[in-house]
């Protein structure tokens, strides 16, 4: 049994290992750390996650700020997309009302909004709302413009999944709930929400992924002074590519673990996979 698990692990790690080896070989051959940093330089950055990097904060600090930004944008996206998705999935009227607008906006890459969003929000941050707070360092870093970009990125996958979830509830399930006395609110809370929960979780997982991807872009906007995206950009300007790569690795790892977390939750809905 453990033998098998070990084999599987080896297989999974085979390609990353090969990639790392060829990277290192190439880096040694080229011998230009600004183009291709050696792994030990990258590893050195990763090995000291709490040490201050350049003039910005440490890897951990930057990661935390990025995570908070993503969390803000993501939660706002979910709070808007889930109720709207339920409305659009359930009421034909709501669907017809919103569908064309949404289908027009959906294909627009979130980054295309950057100039407009900067014009709207400038570099205003949460600190403008809570100026006297002692944790203003964090508030300072939650710029509305970044949160908004992440919101746009995360919004559509959550919305589409929710709509799809509502639409795939068998009509007869809703009918039998109504014959048992469910109406309006009880129908919503006792049938529709539990029935679409798995779809929502899938939507959240994809939305968080997209939001996380928008992050780097959002953090490269003017007014940014922290975060993994900022760190990468800043390190690039100083040609410190080993920091760039370290930042990329951290973004990848954090994204991976968030995705795994949601996958774990998804798998808890046993009934979805086992239904007939």
Partner 1 sequence: MLDIVNLSKYYSNTDGERVLAVSDLFLQVNRNEFVCIVGSSGCGKTTTLRLVAGLDRPTKGKITLDGKKINGPSPERGVVFQEYTLFPWRTVLANITFGLEIKKIGKQEACQIAGKYLQLVGLADYSRAYPYELSGGMQQRVAIARALAADPKILLMDEPFGALDARTRELLQNELIRIWQNNQKTIIFVTHSINEAIFLADRIVVMKRNPGRIQEIVTIELPRSRERTDESYKRYYTKIHRMLENDL
Binding residues vs partner 1 (CB under 8 A): 170, 172-173, 175-182, 186, 190-191, 194-195, 197, 269-272, 274-276
Please identify, using beta-carbon distances, which residue of 93 and 173 lies nearer to partner 1: 173
Please identify, using beta-carbon distances, which residue of 20 and 188 lies nearer to partner 1: 188
Token representation of residue 195: 């029935």
Q: Which residue has the tokens 């808890």?
A: 268
**Considering the complex, what minimum distance in angstroms separates the CB of residue 181 from partner 1?**
4
Please identify, using beta-carbon distances, which residue of 35 and 176 lies nearer to partner 1: 176
**Considering the complex, what minimum distance in angstroms separates the CB of residue 200 from partner 1?**
13
Please identify, using beta-carbon distances, which residue of 4 and 276 lies nearer to partner 1: 276
Please identify, using beta-carbon distances, which residue of 8 and 190 lies nearer to partner 1: 190
Alpha helix ranges (H) inside 168-240: 171-179, 184-187, 193-219, 228-237
CA distance 269 to 172: 21
> Which residues are registered as beta bridge partners of 52?
58
The answer to whether 174 and 188 have CB atoms below 8 angstroms apart is no
**Considering the complex, what minimum distance in angstroms separates the CB of residue 269 from partner 1?**
7
CA distance 127 to 45: 30
**Considering the complex, what minimum distance in angstroms separates the CB of residue 263 from partner 1?**
19
CA distance 109 to 204: 18
**Considering the complex, what minimum distance in angstroms separates the CB of residue 182 from partner 1?**
6
The answer to whether 32 and 216 have CB atoms below 8 angstroms apart is no
């Amino acid at each position: 049994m453990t033998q098998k698990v070990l084999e599987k692990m080896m297989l999974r790690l085979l390609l990353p290992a090969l990639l790392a080896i060829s990277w290192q070989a190439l880096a040694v051959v080229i011998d230009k750390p600004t183009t291709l940093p050696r792994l030990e330089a990258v590893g050195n950055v990763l090995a000291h996650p709490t040490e201050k990097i350049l003039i910005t904060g440490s890897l951990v600090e930057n990661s935390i700020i990025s995570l908070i930004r993503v969390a803000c944008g993501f939660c706002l996206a979910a709070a808007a997309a889930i109720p709207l998705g339920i409305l659009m999935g359930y009421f034909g009227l709501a669907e017809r009302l919103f569908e064309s607008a949404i289908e027009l906006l959906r294909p627009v890459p979130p980054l295309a909004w950057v100039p407009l969003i900067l014009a709207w929000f400038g570099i205003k941050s949460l600190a403008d709302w809570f100026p006297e707070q002692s944790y203003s360092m964090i508030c300072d870093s939650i710029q509305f413009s970044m949160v908004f970009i992440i919101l746009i990125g995360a919004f559509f996958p959550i919305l589409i999944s929710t709509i799809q979830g509502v639409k795939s509830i068998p009509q007869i399930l809703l009918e039998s709930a109504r014959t048992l006395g469910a109406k309006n609110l009880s129908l919503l809370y006792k049938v529709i929400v539990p029935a679409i929960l798995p779809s929502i979780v899938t939507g959240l997982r994809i939305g968080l992924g997209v939001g996380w991807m928008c992050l780097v872009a959002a953090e490269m906007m003017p007014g940014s002074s922290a975060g993994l995206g900022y760190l990468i950009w800043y390190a690039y300007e100083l040609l410190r590519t080993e920091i760039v790569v370290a930042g990329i690795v951290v973004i990848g790892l954090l994204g991976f673990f968030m995705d795994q977390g949601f996958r774990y939750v998804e798998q808890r809905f046993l009934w979805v996979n086992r239904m007939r």
